[in-house]
């Protein structure tokens, strides 16, 4: 009788443990779905606010550690997110007008030690983002920045006048074989080659002067182009540092890294940069 009673108690304990495991698995799957769905919905809402229709949905995955215990402890050990491109570049007043830049290129994001103790202000202990910036976006950056510079410049010297009257940036070609980005002026009348390098976490460009109609391009032209790209890159990366960079076919690829990053501030900064880029001066 005692043996039979002991067996029943053991069976009950095993049944309770199995039930707890099943509940934990259900809770784990439910949490992964819920958090992933919230992140996907936030990304989709931001795209819709800019009038962008997504052709793909972002994907979210978590590390091997149980998410249930991570949430209870207020810290998610690891999370990966892949976002599709929402980039749209428009020329609202014709092909020679100042472009509007909406959305952002596709990216893969890895976050480690995501502090969610304050649900309204999650903070990533470390975040690594890899993305590719296409030639058309680089072209739009330069066209917008040079238009801004021309509109605010008080310089009436030869370089400024030459730039405003004759020189128009009309094309970008990234050449991985030479690790250079070619800036085309006036539909191929001149080409200025830019060699990028990463220094102290920032992306810098060295320009090789070209000539137009037999004349050397003024130093102001090279300086304006390199400054425009460097400033745009700094605005895009914010407090994060560039860790890897490469020229690829059709654009550039870069990885940026940051620590102790409030996700809300990153989102607000990205929205601000996009809105600023989309506003015609």
* pLDDT score, position 53: 78
Nearby residues of 133 by Cβ (< 8 Å), 6 or more positions away: 105, 251, 252, 253, 254
At 39, list the tokens. 């992140």
Look at residue 30 and tell me if it is in a domain. Answer: yes
Residue segments in the chain with a per-residue pLDDT below the cut of 50: 156, 158-159, 271-272, 275-281
Q: How many domains does the chain have?
A: 2
Looking at the structure, tell me whether residues 253 and 160 fall in a common domain: yes
* pLDDT score, position 279: 40
Backbone angles phi, psi at 89, to 5 degrees: -120, 120
At 221, list the tokens. 């032209």
* pLDDT score, position 20: 76
* pLDDT score, position 122: 84
8-state DSSP, 40 = H
Looking at the structure, tell me whether residues 186 and 207 fall in a common domain: yes
Residues 123, 262 contacting (CB under 8 angstroms):
yes
Nearby residues of 33 by Cβ (< 8 Å), 6 or more positions away: none
Q: What burial class does residue 153 get, using C-beta atoms within 10 Å of its C-beta: 0-12 exposed, 13-18 middle, 19+ buried?
A: middle
What separation in angstroms does the CA of 208 have from each of 98, 136, 193, 229, 232?
A: 26, 21, 5, 15, 20
Helix axes 2-49, 263-278, angle to 10 degrees: 20
Looking at the structure, tell me whether residues 54 and 114 fall in a common domain: yes
The helix (H) or strand (E) run that includes residue 59 is: strand 59-62
Look at residue 76 and tell me if it is in a domain. Answer: yes
pTM of the predicted model as reported, rounded to 2 decimal places: 0.78
* pLDDT score, position 30: 79
Looking at the structure, tell me whether residues 183 and 237 fall in a common domain: yes
Whole-number CA gyration radius for the chain: 26
Q: CA-CA distance, 172 to 181, in Å (whole number)? A: 7
Residue where a domain terminates, one of 106, 129, 152: 129
Looking at the structure, tell me whether residues 124 and 137 fall in a common domain: no
Q: Among residues 221, 131, 237, which one has the least CA distance to residue 183?
A: 221
Residue where a domain terminates, one of 107, 129, 151: 129
**Strand order, beta sheet including 202-208:** 169-175, 180-185, 190-199, 202-208
Looking at the structure, tell me whether residues 138 and 60 fall in a common domain: no
* pLDDT score, position 107: 93
Looking at the structure, tell me whether residues 112 and 143 fall in a common domain: no
Q: Which domain holds residue 41?
A: 2-129
Nearby residues of 219 by Cβ (< 8 Å), 6 or more positions away: 159, 209
* pLDDT score, position 10: 77
> What confidence tens digit (pLDDT) does each residue in 154-192 have?
554 544 555 555 568 889 999 999 899 999 887 777 888
Report the relative pairing of strands 75-83 and 107-115 from DSSP bridges. antiparallel
């Amino acid at each position: 009788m005692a043996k039979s009673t002991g067996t029943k108690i053991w069976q009950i304990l095993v049944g309770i443990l199995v039930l707890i495991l099943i509940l934990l698995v259900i809770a784990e799957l439910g949490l992964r779905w819920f958090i992933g769905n919230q992140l996907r919905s936030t990304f989709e809402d931001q795209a819709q606010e800019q009038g962008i229709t997504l052709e793909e949905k972002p994907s979210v995955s978590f590390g091997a550690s149980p998410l249930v215990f991570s949430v209870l402890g207020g810290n998610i050990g690891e999370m990966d997110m892949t976002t599709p491109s929402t980039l749209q570049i428009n020329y609202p007043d014709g092909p020679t007008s100042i472009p509007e830049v909406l959305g952002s290129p596709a990216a893969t994001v890895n976050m480690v030690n995501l502090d969610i103790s304050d649900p309204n202000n999650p903070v990533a202990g470390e975040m690594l983002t890899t993305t590719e910036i296409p030639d058309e976006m680089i072209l739009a950056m330069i066209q917008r920045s040079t238009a801004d510079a021309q509109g605010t410049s008080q310089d009436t010297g030869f370089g400024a006048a030459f730039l405003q009257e004759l020189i128009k940036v009309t094309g970008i070609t990234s050449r991985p074989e030479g690790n250079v980005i070619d800036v085309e002026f006036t539909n191929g009348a001149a080409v200025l080659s830019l060699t990028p390098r990463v220094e102290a976490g920032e992306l810098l460009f060295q320009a090789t002067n070209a000539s137009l109609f037999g004349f050397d391009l003024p130093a102001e032209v090279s300086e304006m182009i390199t400054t425009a790209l460097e400033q745009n890159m700094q605005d895009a990366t914010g407090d994060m540092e560039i860790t890897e960079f490469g020229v690829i076919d059709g654009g550039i690829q870069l990885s940026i890294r940051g620590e102790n990053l409030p996700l809300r501030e990153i989102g607000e900064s990205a929205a601000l940069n996009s809105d600023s880029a989309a506003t015609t001066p």
